[in-house]
Structure 1
Amino acid sequence: MTRIAFLDVDGTILEHGSVIAPSTVTAIRRARENGHLVWLSTGRSAGDIHPDVRAIGFDGAITNGGAYATRADELIVDRPMPREDVEALERYFAAHGIHYFLQTHGGVYASEGMGPVMAEYRRERHAQRAAELEAQGLPSEQPLWNEPKPVSDVDRNAVAKAVFVSPSTDTVAHAAAALGDGFHVIPGSIPLPGGSNGEIGQAGVTKGSAITSVLAQLGLSAADAIGIGDSWNDVEMFEVVGSPVAMGNAVPELQKLAGRVTTSVLEDGVHNAFAELGLI
C-alpha cells in the first residue's frame, strides 16, 4: 500500500539552521525506494528552503504554510493573499512598530528594520549553540542566509504570508484580535530572547488545507497520510492526516495534539517515526 508522508522542515528535518541527522536522509530515501511518497510541508517560501534539504529528494512540496504546493514543476495549490489583506497587514505592522518579512512563492522580502534584528539574533544564537553542538560531536552550524530583498520590491499581488518580530510579548493575541477573522495568526518558531514572533496568513489557508487538496489530486485518502512536525503551523496538518506525529522537540501541547510522539530532530526522529509506521 502506498502511503504519503508530509514532513515539516525546521525542527523536523533541519535543526539549528543547517544540521540534518544522517538517519533522516536515509529514511526518506528508503521510504521512497519502498514505493511511498514523501513531501515537504513547510512554512518557508519555496525559494528559502536549504539546498541540503532539497538534495535529499522529495515527491513534492507544500510551502508558505499551505499557500502553495508544487509537484515537479507544476503548481497544484496557488492561494496568495488578496492584495488588500497584505496592505492591511503592513498598516498594522507600521502602526505598532513591528518588523516583518513578506513571503512569496519564490522569495522573502524584509521590512527596513528586520535585517539588523535578525543579524543580532543570528549572532547570539550562533554563540549560544556553538558549545552545545561541539559537545554533541556535530559540526558548527552554518545557517543558510539568503539576504532578503526589501519589501519595496515585493509584488503585493503574490504575497502568501507574513512573519513578524515584535518587541511586545502579546503581539500574537493582539494581532489576531485587531486583524479579525480573515487572518490566521499563530506563534512563530524563532527563539528570540524577548518580545514575540509569529506568522500571519489567510484564514483557511494552512498546511492542512493544502494537504487535503494534494491528497484529492493524488487519489489518496487521509488514512494513507502521515504528518510529522514540531511547530504551531503543523496543527492543521495533524488534523487532516491519519497518522499525525509530533517531534520529541515539539512543545508538550503539540505532542498532546498529535497523540504519537517520536524522538527529537537530531535523535533520529524522522527515521524512528518511519520505522514505527512501516515505511522502512
Structure 2
Amino acid sequence: MKQKLIFLDVDGTLVEPGTNQPPASALEAIRLARANGHRLVLCSGRNRGMLSPLLGFGFDGFIGSAGGYIVYGNQVIYDCPMPPRQQARVLSVLDENGVYYTLETLDHSYTASLFRDFLRDAVSRRANSELLRWQKQLENDHDTRPITEYRAEPVYKMVFASRGMERLRVPMQILQDDFYFCIQDLDARQIVNGDLINRTFNKGTAVHRLCAYLGVDPADTIAFGDSMNDREMLEAATFGICMGNGNPTLQQLAQMVCPPLAEDGLHRAFEALGLI
C-alpha cells in the first residue's frame, strides 16, 4: 500500500475522554502502521499542554487547539493565537450573555468556578465526549487553572457551555464573522456545549496546511474522529472514519464507521484499511 498520512483525534477516538492512556490495541496499531511507512499525526482540540502526555507514544507530529498550532517533528509550522483586541471582544460578549467558557492558551487552560459547577451538573445527567473530557480535565487538574490566575497569555480557542441556545443567540450573531461555533450537543434539557474556533483555522485547514508543508497529496490522507469538531478534518481527508461511539451526525457524514474505541476500534479499522 502507498504510504498514508493518518490524522487521529484524541478524546473518544484514541483515548477515553479526559484520559491519557490509549488502549494497548491502539498502540499496537500505531506501531505497526509506522513500521509500514505510514505517518501518524494527532489532530485535537486539546492544546499543547494537554497533548504532551500522548506525544511519547510514537507520533510524527500534532495539531493542537483545533488547528491553531501545528508541529511536525520538532518544527512549528503554524501558530495562530487570537489578537488581544479580538479576544477582549469575545470575552465581553460571552460574559454579557451568561455563557460559560474556558480559555485555552498554549500550555494551560483557565476556567471559572461557575463553569466547573455547570459541568458537574451536566455530566451527572448525560454527556458527550467533549463534556466528559472537560469534566475529567477539571477534576484531575491537568494544567487547568482558575481564571483568576490568567495573566494575558495568548488564547488559541475557547470551550463554551450554555443553558440553552437562547444565551448563544446574540454571541453567535455578533461573532459569526470571526468565529465558528462548533456545537457538540443539544439535548432535551437544552444543555449546549462546543468550541469557539477562529475562522482563520480549523482541523480541516490544518490537514491541508500539513499536507502542503510535507508535500503530501491529500489523496493519501485518512482521518479518524468522533465529535462534530472533527467534521472538517474528516471532510479534508480523502477517507474519513467515525468511531462507533461517535456523534450520529458525524457517522452519517463519514465514509466508514469503525467499532467503538472500547472495542479495539482503531486496531480493527487499521486492519480493515490495510494499514497493518
Instruction: Specify which of 130, 136, 156 is matched with residue 160 of structure 1.
Output: 156
Question: Within 2, Cα distance between the matches of 1:222 and 1:215?
Answer: 6
* TM-score using structure 2 length: 0.85
Does 1:278 pair with 2:246?
Answer: no
Q: State the secondary structure of the residue aligned to 2:261.
A: coil
Report the equivalent of 1:32.
34
Which AA in structure 1 matches 2:108? G
- Percent of pairs identical after alignment? 34
| Structure 2: runs of 5 or more not aligned | 127-135
SS in 2 for 1:198: strand
- Match of 1:48? 50
Quote the RMSD (CA, aligned, Å).
2.7
User: Structure 1's 25 and 112: CA in aligned 2 closer, same or farther, altered over 3 A?
Assistant: same
- After superposition, the C-alpha distances for 1:110-130 in whole angstroms (9 at most, x for unaligned) are 1342233345556x389xxxx
CA contact (8 A) 2:108 2:143 kept: no
Going from structure 1 to structure 2, the CA distance change for 1:55 and 1:119 (only over 3 Å counts) comes to farther
Quote the Cα distance in structure 1 between the aligned partners of 2:12 and 2:209.
25
- Name the amino acid aligned to 1:77: Y
CA offsets per residue over residues 225-280 of structure 1, 9 Å max, x none?
11100111111111211111111112222112112111111112111221122210
Letter in structure 2 aligned against 1:184: Y
Does residue 222 (structure 1) correspond to residue 218 (structure 2)? The answer is yes
- Asked if the contact 2:204–2:234 (Cα under 8 Å) also holds between the matched residues in 1, the reply is yes
Cα 1:155–1:241, aligned 2, differ >3 Å: closer, same or farther?
A: farther
Correspondence 1:109 to 2:110: yes
- Larger mean CA deviation between 26-35 and 73-82 belongs to 73-82
Measure, in 2, the Cα distance between the counterparts of 1:169 and 1:269: 33
2:22 is aligned with 1:20: yes
Is the contact between residue 49 and residue 143 of structure 2 (CA under 8 Å) also seen in structure 1? Answer: no
Q: Secondary structure at the match of 1:188?
A: strand
* SS, match of residue 57 in structure 2: coil
Report what 2:131 is aligned to.
none
State the distance in 1 between where 2:63 and 2:192 align: 26
Q: Which deviates more, 230-239 or 68-77?
A: 68-77
CA contact (8 A) 1:238 1:258 kept: yes
Q: Which residue of 2 aligns with 1:269?
A: 265
Cα distance in 1 for partners of 2:188, 2:38 equals 37
Conserved? CA contact 2:40–2:60, under 8 Å: yes
Give 2:254's aligned amino acid. A
What displacement does 1:59 show?
0.6
Partner of 1:78: 79
**Shift of residue 182 of structure 1?**
1.1
SS of 2:253 mapped into structure 1: helix
Q: Does the 8 Å CA contact 2:15/2:261 hold for their aligned counterparts?
A: yes
Alignment of 1:1-280 (within 5 A): 1-18=2-19, 20-49=22-51, 51=53, 53-119=54-120, 124=124, 144-146=140-142, 148-154=144-150, 156=152, 158-171=154-167, 174-188=170-184, 195-280=191-276
Letter in 1 for 2:156: A
Distance across 2 between alignment mates of 1:190 and 1:11: 18
Quote the Cα distance in structure 1 between the aligned partners of 2:153 and 2:263: 41
Aligned equivalents of 2:169 and 2:240: distance in 1? 26
Deviation at 1:177, TM superposition (A): 2.2
* Native 8 Å contact 2:8 2:225 kept in 1: yes
Q: Give the aligned residue type for 2:86.
A: D
Q: CA deviation at 1:155?
A: 5.4
Q: Following the alignment from structure 2 to structure 1, what is the Cα–Cα distance between the partners of residues 183 and 168?
A: 6
